[in-house]
Amino acid sequence: MNRTEDIRADDLIALIQQYNPQTNADLIRQAYAYGEKMHEGQFRHSGEPYFTHPVAVAAILTQQRLDDATIITALLHDTIEDTKSTFAEVERLFGTEVAELVDGVTKLTNLQLDNVQSKQAENFRKLFFAMSKDMRVILVKLADRLHNMRTIKSMRPEKQLQKARETMDIFAPLAGRMGMQWMREELEDLAFKTSNPEARNSILRRFATISKDSGDVIAQITGDMQAELEREGITAQVYGRAKRPYSIWRKMQEKQLAFSRLSDIYGFRVITDDDMACYNALGVIHRRWRAIPGRFKDYISQPKSNGYRSIHTTVSGRDGKRVEVQIRTRQMHDVAESGVAAHWSYRDGERSHNPFAVDPVKWIASLTEQFSHDADHEDFLEAVKLEMYTDKVFCFTPKGDVVKLPRGATPLDFAYAIHTRIGSASVGAKVDGMRAPLWTRLRNGQSVEIITAQGQEPKLQWLDMVATGKAKNAIRRALRAAQRDRSIELGRELARVAFDHIGRKSTDKALDTAARHLRLTDRDELLARIGDAELSAASVVRAVYPDLAPEGEAEVDRTRAVAGLASGQAIQRACCCQPLPGERIMGLGLRGKGVVVHAIDCAALEKFDDLTDAWVDLSWHSGVHPAIYTVTLDLTIANGAGVLGQICTLIGEQKANISDMEFVDKKPDFYRLHVNVDLRDCEHLHSVVLALQAQTDVAQVQRLRDPARSDCIMPQV
């Protein structure tokens, strides 16, 4: 563990001068002294002076050959948050660039995973916003997290577990996404060591056993490869290592394999002088050792979005052991080690012009573009994780253009990657010239042609078929738009009924007036809120005609609920359609049964087409009706403990009463039942149905209307 006296200012400057002899040593020394003074009297959990931490973070960044501003930011990254230092003072002493970097790191210090989903998504938004301003903020934050994980043993056990989860879920995949694979692997392994030490130790013991039984396998294979390459006149350096315990553990979990059945637990890198030597080296290795089918990837011809280039292959080495081999040039290797950070790397005192380093501004723009319009926190969080965790496959359009997709992507992902309009209109696909379902998992090198059709719209089940955040977001936006259209139509009908109650028309002008009075954006917003039960149609009527629809509207006399009856006529509701106040109705005068009230669209009325003399034109009286009108709901719910009780409670919360219940079908995983609910009107029905649809344990809910029950008469109103 490094103490302050272990890495003094001159030691840090010496580390920087190894790659940047032109460093401003005086400014580094000044920043070191300022940070040490600001943190004076502060100590870490281990008892060390706190300033050992910023110094260690700065030392980690020198390994990536970063510029002076980033190194100074590392030395000062906790000063504004934890000391009496201020932004203005840092700006005065070290310049605006450093002050803004320090401030950017400070704003990321409260990145917590254990909060609610919306908070976690907001943290990601904040993280990406900081990256878009200057990615060096994230480089400092990653180095800060790496040193904290290296020294995590001094924290409380519960704090260790929290930091390990946070590291595994956010910082490690972010480092990998940025191309800093070495940092991702170390962060994952340190988090694994904290969260599951028994599993990690068991893997280390197996390695020790293998080494004891078969000797130094890495040195043997490295020597074999080096000799083969030299024999062919290829200048290259070969490096080998055992894969980290977490990498092996993850593969065991994903493939459900025991350690003894894992084969490629060793990895080797071949570093050459140029591209041609990479392919020549690949030929030598494949001639000498048998290549494993399906394990070849050429990231030189198809680089990853973070600039990563390399050839990957897996071969059967000594004693049939599978080994993974990565072949790349020195410049490619620098990008593979530093990722996006290679953009700032220095060599011999000058900014290193690595042709393979990506422009961080363009990189972060491509990563965040699809999230900019996503207002839903959970959707944003899911999309970010999908983009950060997945590896890539490369597919081709019919014209030969390359489309990069995450592993597990489907033709739907491919279509949305080309254009949202094409994705939304997809009806099928051809993969390598053959028709394939939209849920087909794509593989590297396949050619994909999307078949579209006019009028096609995204379906809810598409969400389970796609793997990219862009596709999921586009589908959800389309579904929300379609739902809004349905809500507007329903709201329009509810508004029409409410205005009809007072003898007025729900004209566009009346609705516009109500929207202005209720301070809503426009007429569509008003109707959508009515359709979503966020606003009652009665309140809209009151906004336009307060005198005709007073706030304290009287309850309708249950004996005179319907207008249009002759004196002394009794009415009964038909149980085939169970009409409700707010719906258009028609009466049918039947001998001995008074007038039976049907919904005007009731299918059972067809059998009475010839009885024109029996038809009676009816309408509901305006006003507040009592909750006495029974409607049968057809429900399909999960078969789980407490689910039925939750459903009953939910209906009660909507001021509705359950008068009867009948189980229609019982299965191990679901129940189907008919529930009789007493309601006031169709608005009341809509609010109950909407509440049930929002319940995760309700698979389906619909109003039951059965023409076969037309002879059944509900109790007299």
Q: Which helix (H) or strand (E) holds 673?
A: strand 670-679
Instruction: Pick the more confident residue, 131 or 116.
Output: 131
Between 133 and 437, where is the model more confident?
437
pLDDT at position 342: 63
Q: Which residues neighbour 697 within 8 Å (Cβ) at sequence distance 6 or greater?
A: 637, 638, 640, 643, 646, 647
pLDDT tops 80 at residue 194: yes
| CATH level 2 (architecture), domain 9-198 | Orthogonal Bundle (1.10)
Residue 502 in contact with residue 620, Cβ under 8 Å? no
Helix 9-17 to helix 68-76 angle (10° resolution) is 150
Distance (Å, rounded) from C-alpha 610 to C-alpha 146? 84
Q: Which of 316-320, 369-373, 635-639, 675-679 has the lowest mean pLDDT?
A: 369-373
Sequence letter at residue 289: W
- Please list, in sequence order, all residues whose beta carbon lies within 8 angstroms of the beta carbon of residue 78, skipping any fewer than 6 positions away: 39, 50, 53, 54, 106, 109
Confidence tier at 306 by pLDDT (50, 70, 90):
low
- Please give the Cα distance from 70 to 57 (Å, whole number): 10
pLDDT tops 50 at residue 116: no
Which pLDDT score, from 0 to 100, does residue 591 have? 66
The tens digit of pLDDT for each residue in 129-187 reads 656 667 788 889 899 999 999 999 888 888 898 888 888 877 887 787 777 888 888 99
Average pLDDT over residues 624-635: 87
Determine the CATH number of domain 629-716: 3.30.70.260
Say if residue 28's pLDDT is above 90.
Answer: yes
Report pLDDT for 93. 93
Burial 339-375 (b: 16+ CB within 10 A, else e): bbbbbbbbeeeeebebebbbebeebbeebbebbeebe
- Could you list the active site residues? 81-82
Share of the chain above pLDDT 90, in %: 21
Distance CA 680, CA 688 (A): 11
Q: Comparing 319 with 182, which gets the higher pLDDT? A: 182
Distance of CA 72 to the CA centre of its chain: 35
Contact partners, residue 234, CB within 8 Å, separation at least 6:
272, 277, 280, 281, 284
Beta bridge partners of 674: 634, 662
pLDDT tens, position by position, 643-655: 888 888 888 888 8
Residue 304 backbone phi and psi in degrees, to 5: -75, 165
Amino acid at 479: L
Which architecture characterizes domain 199-351 according to CATH?
Answer: 2-Layer Sandwich (3.30)
Q: Check residue 144 and give its pLDDT.
A: 92
- Residues 291-301: pLDDT tens digits? 888 788 888 88
Question: pLDDT value at position 557?
Answer: 67
- Kindly indicate the confidence band of residue 113, based on its pLDDT and cuts at 50, 70 and 90: very low
CB burial of residue 656 (10 Å; 0-12, 13-18, 19+): buried
Q: Does pLDDT of 8 surpass 70? A: yes
C-alpha separations of 716 from 447, 569, 676 in Å: 68, 12, 16
**SS3 breakdown of the chain: % helix, strand, coil, rounded to 5?**
50, 20, 30
Is it the case that residue 237 has pLDDT exceeding 80?
yes
266 closest CA partner among 328, 206, 326, 324: 324
The Cβ of residue 2 has, within 10 Å, a number of other Cβ atoms equal to 16
Q: Where are the domains of the chain?
A: 9-198, 199-351, 478-544, 558-620, 629-716
Q: Is the pLDDT of residue 368 over 80?
A: no
Does the pLDDT of residue 517 top 50, yes or no?
yes
> Is 3 a residue whose pLDDT tops 60?
no
**In the structure, what pLDDT confidence band is assigned to residue 521 with cuts at 50, 70 and 90?**
confident
Answer whether 486's CB lies under 8 Å from 512's CB: no
Least confident of 121-125, 599-603, 625-629: 121-125
This prediction has a pTM of 0.53
In this structure, of 314-328, 368-382, 571-585, 633-647, the range with the lowest mean pLDDT score is 368-382
Mean pLDDT value of segment 432-458: 87
In this prediction, residue 586 carries a pLDDT of 85
Query: Confidence band (pLDDT; 50, 70, 90) for 278?
Result: very high
CA distances, 377 to each of 125, 369, 380 (Å): 9, 16, 5
E strand spans, 500-628: 562-563, 571-574, 585-590, 594-599, 615-617, 619-620
